[in-house]
């Protein structure tokens, strides 16, 4: 009869011996090293016992001296220092308030300077019309109202603390915003269809000052407006079904609302035109262009991305009969820094830098005004789902802090990138493609309202999602 072989490798010496298991760590030890292991455990128990006794002694000392003189002295010192802090804080807030006021005035002067340059340009060219004059008048009115508005800077007193502290509340925040991960459906969400409470692959969205949402309801060939908390849409453009007549659309991809003159500008892709609707009147602004997406800067210039010519062009207000100016791409399809490959959504900042979702290159490019080539500000590391990658990027927005938000379409997530960083971060979505409130399915366009709530055109779920900001 063969002997039972219960030999295994000892955890300590790694020799093939008869071993014994420790129930605490589940490791196996030979007899010699099992004894050594138990001695180590016993030593640790003594150490814990010593720490317990030291702590108990401290408790007894505090019980015997509840009126410790050192603590009373600390309270007295706190009283003196608190009075000094009040003096220091008052002076600090005076300086902050003076600096904030100076920055506010400098900002107003900068806007006035920009407006003055536009007025000079119009005088020099001597070519203007009512649209130009309305734009200038509205700009001056906005600057005047901003100067008259005394609520930009205020003082808030915290009455909860013993010593009431004050802080300067400024309209611009420096913190990184965060949003609730479960969204609210504010348009559509009732399956794909043509009914007034349905959407069919929404692409572009635009949020106006009243939080009305203008949507390119792409495969319903219409532009829909959803008022805040509305249950169904109002069809603004495209109620006459798919077609190429002046009052019809064919797969519109994007929309911008010129709030200065209350007009709607549409990228009517399959009809290869950009059209404007104003006061129920239709006008073709640009003919024979493979328009993908639109943007408008603060000066009223219109930007259009062309996915066939792989370029972005800019048109001056009222001069849509010319060819426009190439401001990004225009050097054929490719992946070089002076090229694009199927440009999609675009965003233009206050310095007229153009951000382009370079879709087939899985990157977002930034072209400064007058630049001959762009720089990669998001993605650019091949198509993928790592934090330094994008997959078919669509919507792009840049906030006041210069942070770039991208609808990472095929990864079903919204990313935030800081220019110069090697990777981005997921702000919403990223939980797999799906229809739950914390999921997206091929997100297209992005937009913020004036409270910094984030809206997403969730195209394959045929809905618009609102992610509320966490204050």
Please determine, for residue 273, whether its predicted confidence score (pLDDT) is greater than 50: yes
Average pLDDT of 42-48? Answer: 90
Position 152 confidence tier, pLDDT thresholds 50, 70, 90: low
Query: Do 336 and 358 contact (CB within 8 A), yes or no?
Result: no
Q: Assign 190 a pLDDT band (cuts: 50, 70, 90).
A: very high
99: alpha, beta or left? (left if phi > 0; alpha if psi -120 to 50): alpha
Q: Is residue 4 predicted with pLDDT exceeding 80?
A: no
Domain 178-470 has CATH 2.120.10.30: yes
Identify the pLDDT of residue 162.
Answer: 53
pLDDT by residue (tens digit) across 375-386?
A: 999 999 999 999
Task: Select, from the ranges 86-100, 105-119, 195-209, 231-245, the one with the highest average predicted confidence (pLDDT).
Answer: 195-209
Give the residue-averaged pLDDT of 346-359: 95
Amino acid 294: pLDDT: 95
Residue 126 structure tokens: 């001597």
Predicted pLDDT at 469: 93
Q: Is 83 helix (H, G, I), strand (E, B) or coil?
A: helix
Q: How far apart are CA 367 and CA 313, in angstroms?
A: 12
Sheet of 354-358: strand order equals 343-348, 354-358, 363-367, 375-379
Q: How far is CA 466 from the centre of its chain?
A: 13
> How far apart are the C-alpha atoms of 426 and 408, rounded to whole Å?
10
The residue with greater pLDDT, 351 or 169, is 351
Radius of gyration in angstroms for the set of CA atoms belonging to the chain, rounded to a whole number = 32
Q: Which residues pair with 455 in a beta bridge?
A: 447, 466
174 pLDDT higher than 60:
no
pLDDT at 160 over 70: no
The DSSP line for 288-326 is S--EEEEEE-TT--EEEEETTTTEEEEE-TT-TTS--EE
Measured distance CA(417)–CA(257) in Å, rounded: 27
Residue 431 confidence (pLDDT): 94
Terminal CA-CA length for the chain: 77
**What share of the chain has pLDDT > 90, as a percent?**
50
- Average pLDDT of the chain to the nearest whole number: 86
Residues 361 and 343: their CA atoms lie apart, in Å, by 9
- In the chain, where the domains are located: 7-64, 79-169, 178-470
Residues 265, 237 contacting (CB under 8 angstroms) = no
């Amino acid at each position: 009869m063969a002997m039972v072989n219960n030999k295994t490798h000892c955890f300590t010496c790694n020799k093939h011996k008869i071993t014994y298991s420790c129930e605490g760590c589940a490791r196996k030890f030979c007899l010699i090293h099992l004894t050594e292991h138990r001695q180590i455990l016993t030593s640790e128990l003594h150490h814990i016992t010593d720490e317990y006794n030291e702590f108990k002694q401290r408790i007894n000392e505090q019980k015997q001296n509840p009126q410790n003189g050192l603590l009373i002295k600390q309270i007295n010192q706190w009283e003196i220092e608190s009075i000094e802090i009040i003096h220091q804080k008052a002076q600090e807030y005076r300086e902050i308030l003076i600096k904030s006021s100076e920055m506010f005035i400098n900002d107003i002067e900068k806007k006035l300077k920009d407006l003055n340059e536009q007025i000079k340009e119009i005088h020099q060219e001597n070519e203007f019309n009512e649209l130009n004059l309305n734009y200038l008048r509205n700009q001056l009115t906005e600057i005047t109202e901003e100067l008259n508005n005394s609520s930009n800077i205020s003082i808030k007193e915290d009455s909860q603390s013993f010593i009431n502290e004050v802080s300067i509340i400024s309209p611009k925040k420096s913190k990184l915003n965060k949003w609730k991960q479960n969204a609210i459906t504010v348009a559509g969400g009732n399956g794909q269809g043509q009914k007034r409470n349905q959407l069919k692959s929404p692409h572009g969205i635009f949020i106006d000052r009243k939080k009305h949402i203008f949507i390119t309801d792409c495969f319903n060939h219409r532009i829909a407006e959803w008022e805040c908390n509305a249950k169904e849409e109002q069809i603004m453009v495209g109620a006459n079904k798919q077609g190429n007549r002046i009052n019809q659309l064919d797969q519109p991809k994007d929309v911008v609302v010129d709030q200065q003159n209350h007009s709607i500008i549409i990228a009517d892709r399959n009809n290869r035109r950009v059209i404007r609707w104003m006061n129920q009147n239709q006008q073709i602004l640009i003919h024979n262009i493979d328009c993908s997406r639109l943007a408008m800067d603060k000066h009223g210039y219109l930007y259009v991305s062309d996915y066939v010519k792989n370029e972005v062009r800019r048109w001056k207000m009222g001069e849509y009969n010319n060819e426009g100016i190439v401001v990004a791409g225009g050097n054929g399809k490719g992946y070089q820094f002076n090229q694009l490959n199927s440009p999609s959504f675009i965003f233009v900042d206050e310095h007229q830098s153009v951000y382009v979702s370079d879709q087939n290159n899985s990157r977002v490019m930034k072209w400064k005004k007058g630049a001959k080539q762009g720089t990669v500000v998001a993605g650019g590391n091949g198509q993928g789902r790592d934090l330094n990658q994008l997959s078919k990027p669509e919507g792009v927005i840049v906030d006041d802090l210069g942070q770039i938000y991208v609808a990472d379409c095929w990864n079903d997530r919204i990313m935030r990138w800081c220019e110069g960083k090697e990777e981005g971060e997921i702000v919403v979505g990223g939980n797999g493609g799906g229809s739950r409130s914390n999921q997206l399915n091929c997100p297209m366009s992005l937009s913020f309202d004036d409270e910094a709530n984030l809206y997403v055109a969730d195209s394959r779920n045929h809905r618009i999602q609102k992610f509320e900001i966490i204050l």
